[in-house]
Chain A
Amino acid sequence: MANEKELIFEARNLTKHFGPTIALNGVDFKVYRGEITGLIGENGSGKSTITSIAAGMQPATSGEMFFMGQPHSPSTMLEGAAAGIGMIVQEQGTVSGISVAQNIFLGNEKKFATGPVVSSKKMNEEAKKALEAIGFVDVDPAMPIDALNMQDRKLVEIAKVIYNDPQMLVVDETTTALSQKGRDIIYDIMKKMRDDNKAVVFISHDLEELMETCDTLTVLRDGNLITTMTKDQMNEDDIKRHMVGREMSGDYYRNDFGGTISDEVVLKADNITTGTGMLMNFSMELHKGEILGVGGLSHCGMHELGRALFGEEKLLEGKVIDMATGDSITSPLTAKQHGYGYVSKDRDKEALVLTESIKDNIMAAGFDKVQKGLFLSPKASKKYVDKQKADLSIKCASILQDVQYLSGGNKQKVVFGKWVGRDCDILILDCPTRGVDIGVKAAMYHLIDEMKKAGKSIVMISEELTELIGMTDRLLILKDGELNGEFMRTPDRSANDLVDAMI
């Protein structure tokens, strides 16, 4: 088998430095035709660096690359694409204000031109074919791109890349932004590419997904290639071990069952209807010392519920009541005053000021804990933030460093630091482990568990069923803004039941 494989891409001793940082350290990486090659590693391990160099987004510091037998050193993405490397990235890559078809053929309009006139009819027809080629049929190419949701726009991008018939396709953490339907489309494309004897490089955080899809899996850590496994060698524990570089302890999630939950209700949503209409007449209670999970499909209203509990969502009807005082929670300010904390799903936009230092970000929520009278001593502030840094082991050179330069996991630790430092009694966590490395994830689960044990009440909203199952005492599944199932913590709580409640 092995010697039948045809090499399509090879990097030899590929090295990339960012200033003093070594992002890639002499990596030898091979991609074969007829295979889906997975790449995995923690944030900053260098996996996106390899592919972006191959696609021409940035040059390598040293090393060689070969593509289809030829020396390969593209200086722009266009050169990379011309050589036959297509890339689908995580960020949004469509252009607003023009149609779907125009997006697909952006820069290639000449194809449909007779003289200076571009035939939009021909273009739309061709675009239709391009979309159908990836099995994305229910969209009219003449539609303005802005009428599409995020996921459909991503699919348009994919159609664009596939239309150019790449010999090697790079899918870089694209699936995290997509629903199951979108993912299925991408999986199908990848499989089709493989069956056509082309090559796919698939980068993802999602182990399960990688193990299911990939033929080989390469693990990177700190810019070094650690190992490459074939399908039969793949096993979750090994992969994690290679990624992290040490043994992962077994208790990734909580391992206790059957603990009793206090009867004391600390927070109550009473018949609330949100301004966006996502939740209608919804009620729920949070008990003291419990981890309450909230799950569902996107648009089920779970994120709105989190916002509403923190006073961040405009309520048309009903109230969110803090049971200890009987007060209504009407704004984040009142919520904070009652000892609530909130970690937003949109970390970079809502939970952090990216251009601001770690210190000021943490102080934004914590200044009243340090304040003496009217005054806020810089020394005490520093001490307060240093404590959060130490407690959460935030990796940074200095607390005066801008958070934008931190990795996703460390950013999330800063967000946690804002609220943990305040010693909040109630924490509302919306997708707290999104885009976070396994190592950090484990640390967070541990932290959440610690807080529960300290008698804090936690609402954990998540799109990941496994973490909901693993962490929560009680799990609410929402569907179309209504409660569609409640599951207590038992060893036999299964994903299937939850999925049934979601759909």
Chain B
Amino acid sequence: MEATAEIKTKARTKPDTRLIGELAPIVGLVLVVVIFTLLTKGALLSSGNLQSLSSQVITTALVTIGAVFVFGSGYFDMSLGGCLCFTAVIGGQVAIATGSLLLSFISILGISLAFGIAKGIFATTVNVPFFIFTIVLGSVISSVVLVMLGSESTIYLKDAVKEIPSLTFTQMTAVNVIALVVFFAVCLVLFNYTPLGVCIKNLGGSFIAARQSGINTRKTTIIAFIVSALGVAVAAFIILLRTRTVGATTASGVGNDVMVALVLGGMPLSGGPKSKISAGLIGAVTITVLNSGLTIMGLTTGQIQVVRGIVFIAVVFVSSFSYRGKLLPR
């Protein structure tokens, strides 16, 4: 029996392909960085561009890291872009009406958490495929934003009742870095050093198995949505600080970027055991470097899309080694 077991274990772990799969996102990121550094003759890693990159990566990174919790639990949330836009617009309106960034942040946080909790409650009580609900929610939010904006399509912080100081580039970079580091650290701790991560991975892996393990599925789900909402709130506030301009199209690309980033970060969109916080950060950095690098190279839109497609396919393919590497049946 001992001998049998030994043979079995050797056969079934397949460490080579698994390792490739797990390293794929990091290798992908390094490759993207190296290739673009070479192609742009170092412009990509110039200190000026690194600061710009921190600005560019921040929104996607915050939302994606938070989304790891929701997608990890097996909920496919397509309303992230909509929620981000809505909260940013509310924050903008509050800032313009009061001239206070603090009040603006509080309202952003409040609204975002309200959305998160509402989504969590919906996900745990109503028996409708969740992604359909989020598609509907996303479009409802878009319409509401249009109504809130009324006759204006865009609103500007410069129109505030009281002047809102604008941040210098360096201050903005500092805010970005601090926000990202803190949020990433909090998420990392929540996911890896509290039971939340285990609960989420099991919930995403199999709802029934999680319930039968005595995991509080409702609590887990709602907490996951709250963490995601925190990321959205910070991202919304940072968009407001950075662009001082919000409108119906704010964050329109974020919903897609988040999903692409998760995949590039090496996490299946169906969530479950392969969920990891690093996927949010690595994926967001990869897609941002990719976008920025392609723009710097001066490619046309069509070429950019083709290159992006190839990178996407390659990473998905290599990542799939880690979760599709099954042996043939004996």
Tell whether any CB of A sits under 8 Å from a CB of B in the complex: yes
A221 at the binding interface (Cβ < 8 Å): yes
B3 at the binding interface (Cβ < 8 Å): yes
- A1-27, CB under 8 A of B: which get 1 and which 0? 000000000000000001111110000
The interface stretch among B51-59, B136-144, B320-328 is: B320-328
CB atoms of B205 and A349 under 8 A apart: no
A332 at the binding interface (Cβ < 8 Å): yes
CB atoms of A20 and B10 under 8 A apart: yes
- A332-358, CB under 8 A of B: which get 1 and which 0? 110111000010100001111111110
CB atoms of A352 and B209 under 8 A apart: yes
CB atoms of B194 and A376 under 8 A apart: yes
Closest B residue to A361 using CB positions: B202
Asked whether A364 and B3 contact (CB < 8 A) given A18-B330, A378-B192, the answer is no
> Could you say which of B7, B195, B198 contacts A222, with CB atoms under 8 Å apart?
B7
Q: Which residues in chain A, 130-153, are within 8 Å of chain B measured between CB atoms?
A: none
A185 at the binding interface (Cβ < 8 Å): no
Q: Which residues in chain B, 262-276, are within 8 Å of chain A measured between CB atoms?
A: 272-274
A217 at the binding interface (Cβ < 8 Å): no
Using Cβ atoms and an 8 Å threshold, which residues of chain A touch B192? 378
A52→B12 CA distance, assembly (Å):
19
B216 at the binding interface (Cβ < 8 Å): yes
Closest B residue to A91 using CB positions: B329
A397 at the binding interface (Cβ < 8 Å): yes
Closest B residue to A331 using CB positions: B211
- A45-82, CB under 8 A of B: which get 1 and which 0? 11011001000011000000000000000000000000
Classify the secondary structure of B's interface with A. Answer: helix
CB atoms of B11 and A367 under 8 A apart: no
Using Cβ atoms and an 8 Å threshold, which residues of chain A touch B330? 18, 23, 44, 46, 48-49, 52
Contact residues on A (Cβ < 8 Å of other chain), bracket: 35 or more
For chain B, the count of residues having a C-beta within 8 Å of the partner chain is 42
> Could you say which of A246, A332, A402 contacts B213, with CB atoms under 8 Å apart?
A332
Using Cβ atoms and an 8 Å threshold, which residues of chain A touch B208? 349-350
User: In the assembled complex, how far is the CB of residue A362 from the closest CB belonging to chain B, in whole angstroms?
Assistant: 9
A208→B214 CA distance, assembly (Å):
38
CB atoms of A355 and B274 under 8 A apart: yes
A178 at the binding interface (Cβ < 8 Å): no
Q: Which residues in chain B, 180-219, are within 8 Å of chain A measured between CB atoms?
A: 192-195, 197-199, 201-202, 205-206, 208-216
Asked whether A356 and B272 contact (CB < 8 A) given A18-B327, A349-B206, A364-B213, the answer is yes
A377→B195 CA distance, assembly (Å):
9
User: In the assembled complex, how far is the CB of residue B217 from the closest CB belonging to chain A, in whole angstroms?
Assistant: 8
CB atoms of B329 and A401 under 8 A apart: no
CB atoms of A349 and B209 under 8 A apart: yes
Asked whether A375 and B327 contact (CB < 8 A) given A333-B214, A350-B212, A397-B13, the answer is no
B168 at the binding interface (Cβ < 8 Å): no
Asked whether A18 and B214 contact (CB < 8 A) given A45-B4, A360-B198, A376-B198, the answer is no
A222→B5 CA distance, assembly (Å):
9
A83 at the binding interface (Cβ < 8 Å): no
- A361-398, CB under 8 A of B: which get 1 and which 0? 10111011001001111100000000000000001111
Asked whether A405 and B214 contact (CB < 8 A) given A18-B327, A44-B7, the answer is no
Using Cβ atoms and an 8 Å threshold, which residues of chain B touch A398? 13
Using Cβ atoms and an 8 Å threshold, which residues of chain A touch B12? 21, 401, 405-406
User: In the assembled complex, how far is the CB of residue A372 from the closest CB belonging to chain B, in whole angstroms?
Assistant: 10
Closest A residue to B18 using CB positions: A402
B14 at the binding interface (Cβ < 8 Å): yes
CB atoms of B10 and A21 under 8 A apart: yes
CB atoms of A48 and B328 under 8 A apart: no
Asked whether A407 and B329 contact (CB < 8 A) given A332-B212, A353-B209, the answer is no
Beyond A52-B330, A352-B209, A396-B9, list 17 extra A-B contacts (CB 8 Å).
A19-B14, A21-B8, A221-B4, A245-B1, A310-B212, A344-B212, A350-B212, A351-B209, A354-B206, A355-B273, A364-B213, A367-B198, A376-B195, A395-B6, A397-B13, A401-B13, A407-B5
18 pairs, A vs B, C-beta closer than 8 Å: A331-B211, A332-B212, A333-B214, A337-B214, A349-B209, A355-B272, A360-B273, A361-B202, A363-B198, A371-B194, A371-B195, A375-B193, A376-B197, A395-B6, A395-B9, A397-B10, A404-B326, A407-B5
The 4 closest A-B pairs by CB, nearest first: A336-B214, A21-B11, A405-B12, A353-B205
Query: Which B positions have Cβ atoms within 8 angstroms of A?
Result: 1, 3-14, 192-195, 197-199, 201-202, 205-206, 208-216, 272-274, 323, 326-330
Query: Which A positions have Cβ atoms within 8 angstroms of B?
Result: 18-23, 42, 44-46, 48-49, 52, 57-58, 221-223, 244-246, 310, 312, 331-333, 335-337, 342, 344, 349-357, 360-361, 363-365, 367-368, 371, 374-378, 395-398, 401-402, 404-407, 410, 418, 439
